[in-house]
Each structure stands twice: as C-alpha cells, then as structure tokens.
Amino acid sequence: MPHRTTDQASVTYFIQSRPAPSAPWQDPGLPVTVASLDKALEQLAVRRERQPTWEHRLMQRTITVTDEPVPENPSR
C-alpha cells in the first residue's frame, strides 16, 4: 500500500461584508488574506469602524495538502 501523508499547509483569514442581513455575503474584491488571527481581528475592527451600517464577519480558510506516490504503471 502506498505511503500517504497529509499535512496542513496553511490557515488564513479574510473578511466578508454585506449591507443588510437579507443581502448575500460579499468576498473582498481582491483576495486579501492574513495568516495571523490577531491581525485579522484588527482588520475586522477597522472595517466595522469604517462601515458601521454594514455587517461584517471573519472567515477562516484552511488549505490541506496530501502527498502520495503514484504507481509508475497504473492499470487503466
């Protein structure tokens, strides 16, 4: 059986916003992500200050990488 390894590659955070509770959540125009939860919370506070009438939430994205060998003569 091939040896398979799974490693967590990264966790990043980003902010989604919406103008009203009935509106869909909007991702940022440019994919702005940060790796530090503390920095992300600071950015969330700034966003809430700048747009107090909007709703904002912090999102976490986890990217996982799996490495496994591929047979050189796969049966098809």
Model pLDDT, residue 29: 64
What lies within 8 Å, CB to CB, of 55 at 6+ separation is: 17, 18, 19, 20, 21
| 65 class by beta-carbon count within 10 Å (0-12 exposed, 13-18 middle, 19+ buried) | exposed
Indicate whether 10 pLDDT > 80. Answer: yes
pLDDT in tens, 15-66: 999 999 999 998 776 667 888 999 999 999 999 999 999 999 999 988 888 8
Could you tell me which residue, 19 or 10, shows the higher pLDDT? 19
Confidence tier at 8 by pLDDT (50, 70, 90): low
Both tokens assigned to 18: 């919406």
Q: Per-domain residue ranges for the chain?
A: 5-66
